[in-house]
Amino acid sequence: MGMLAKIRRMHLRDGLSIREVSRRTGLSKNTVKRWLRQEGVTEPKYPKRDETSVVDAWAEHLAMALQADERRPVRDRRTVKALFEQIRALGYPGSYPRVVVWVRRWREAQASSPRRAAFVPMSFEMGDAFQFDWSCEYAFVGGLRRRLEVAHTKLAASRAFWLTAYPAQSHEMLFDAHARAFAAFGGIPRRGIYDNMKTAVDKVGVGKQRSVNVRFLAMCSHYLFEPEFCNPASGWEKGVVEKNVQDRRRQIWREATERRWSDLASLNAWLATRCRQAWEEMAHPEWPELKVAEVWQDERLRLMVAPKPFDGYVEQPVRVSATALVHFQRNRYSVPTRHVNQVLSLRVYPGELVLVADGVEVARHARSFERDQTFFDWQHYIDLVQTKPGALRNGAPFKTMPEVLQTLQRHLLRHTGGDRVMTQVLAAVPVHGLEAVLVAAEVALEAGRPSADHVLNVLARLKQGLPMVDIPAEAAPALRLEPRADVQRYDQLREVRHEH
């Protein structure tokens, strides 16, 4: 109706002739006359021109590929360039821009088409449930861009959430994430809602039947909450935490990727602070006049008081090698040499490895997620070098000794039998403690001529509580009556000898 109204205004209101109207609008005079004579005439609608494209022959292939990509994670979806290369390998003769235009129009049509899926809004009582999920994120930790698994725990009623980053999605990480979240929330709800993750569900049965992992059930029993699992491929059943993954990725995690973190502990400390800040800033979706922190204060009163954290380790047997090392995830860790060729129990924690023999802890190491590394505790080899002192000179474990002991070792090894003397010093570590031996070694080095006897003497003084005071040479006591040289004494001795 725009052109018709324009013609009528130009001719009837402005008084322009039909010739002038035709010249200004570009329409023929007959068309202008016909439109002006007829009352209520409407502008003609011309049928859309049927255009053919070289992409039409490949439209079905492209549509199937795009539909398949919609069911994949975003990072695994193919680009238009990849689709173009795929159909060109199959014989597509056209250009890349034509494929781009076709894909854009297909996506616009999909976006405007009605969606068949519908969902029911959910509401939870205070203290009733929490929801848990994992997400895969990336951040610069220790100078490298690393893939991290982030645990999302969210209270379904107050919407308070907690994030913790881990190197993997293993059992010990799952248990630690729950302990941290419950400590932050100040209690435990009655139910926990999960998807069918492998660390919780060993086998998915018919309907709601699940074969739940034994260690996961032990954790649930410890914290006294009931686990519930969603139907397969039904993420909307825990939509509160699913949306939390998307929102936190756009907000908190975007900030995390812009920074550089020295280690995972510093990243998790920052995430804890940032989560609490978000509680203070975010409005609650059901009560917009209240912040999440305010609603959480109300829900916390309805949570069960959390007991001591669950001892969430994963245990497995390991055999000690002839070099007193155990292997775990392509790394090696030392144990006391008395356990060589024995089978020990390895308890795996998120940040530590504990080795146990007959229920007694024999070694503890910080856990490393690198590969092909060896981690020694030189004190594990003290008993062995008592019988093999020569191993001290090139022993790899003893390169990790404190600098004071390494300096003392260099002094002693300059002399014959110095390695055996050094073993006597090291043998005092289990008896007197490392700190006392380090002090004694420093005192011996300051004296200028260190020895095992000197170190042991200092240790004895420390044990008895005597002051560590060295007597200077000039302060040595002098004789009151100095001896007098008397050569006549020798003659007297000779005479006595003759008489016999």
Which band of pLDDT confidence, cut at 50, 70 and 90, is reported for residue 476? Answer: very low
User: Quick one: tokens of 494?
Assistant: 């000779």
Mean pLDDT of the chain: 86
Q: What pLDDT score was predicted for residue 473?
A: 37
| Residues sharing a CB contact under 8 Å with residue 352, sequence separation 6 or more, in sequence order | 364, 365, 366, 367
Element holding 99 (H helix, E strand): helix 96-112
Q: What pLDDT score was predicted for residue 483?
A: 66
Q: What pLDDT score was predicted for residue 71?
A: 84
Q: What pLDDT score was predicted for residue 250?
A: 84
| pLDDT, mean of residues 369-376 | 92
Cα separation of 129 and 197, whole Å? 18
Q: What pLDDT score was predicted for residue 274?
A: 94
| Residues sharing a CB contact under 8 Å with residue 92, sequence separation 6 or more, in sequence order | 54, 55, 58, 84, 99
The string of pLDDT tens digits covering residues 83-102 is 999 999 989 998 999 999 99
Q: What pLDDT score was predicted for residue 42?
A: 65
The string of pLDDT tens digits covering residues 34-77 is 878 876 666 666 676 667 788 888 899 999 999 998 888 877 78
The string of pLDDT tens digits covering residues 335-364 is 999 999 999 999 999 999 999 999 899 999
Residue 109 pLDDT exceeds 80: yes
| pLDDT, mean of residues 76-83 | 88
User: Quick one: tokens of 129?
Assistant: 């449930």
The string of pLDDT tens digits covering residues 252-300 is 998 999 999 999 999 999 999 999 999 999 999 889 999 999 999 999 9
Which band of pLDDT confidence, cut at 50, 70 and 90, is reported for residue 440? Answer: confident
Residue 472 pLDDT exceeds 50: no
User: Among 11-25, 308-322, 471-485, which range has the highest average pLDDT?
Assistant: 308-322
Which band of pLDDT confidence, cut at 50, 70 and 90, is reported for residue 499? Answer: low
Distance of CA 396 to the CA centre of its chain: 31
pTM: 0.68
Q: Which fold has domain 129-300?
A: Nucleotidyltransferase; domain 5 (3.30.420)
Residue 498 pLDDT exceeds 60: no
**Is 159 within 8 Å of 292 (Cβ atoms)?**
yes
| Residues sharing a CB contact under 8 Å with residue 146, sequence separation 6 or more, in sequence order | 138, 139, 140, 167
The string of pLDDT tens digits covering residues 115-156 is 666 677 778 899 999 999 999 999 999 989 999 999 999 999
Cα separation of 132 and 274, whole Å? 19
Q: What pLDDT score was predicted for residue 418?
A: 81
| pLDDT, mean of residues 486-493 | 68
Q: What pLDDT score was predicted for residue 115?
A: 64
The string of pLDDT tens digits covering residues 388-400 is 888 888 889 998 8
**Is 419 within 8 Å of 408 (Cβ atoms)?**
no
Q: What pLDDT score was predicted for residue 494?
A: 65
**Is 83 within 8 Å of 99 (Cβ atoms)?**
yes
Beta bridge partners of 354: 347, 364
User: Quick one: tokens of 80?
Assistant: 């238009």
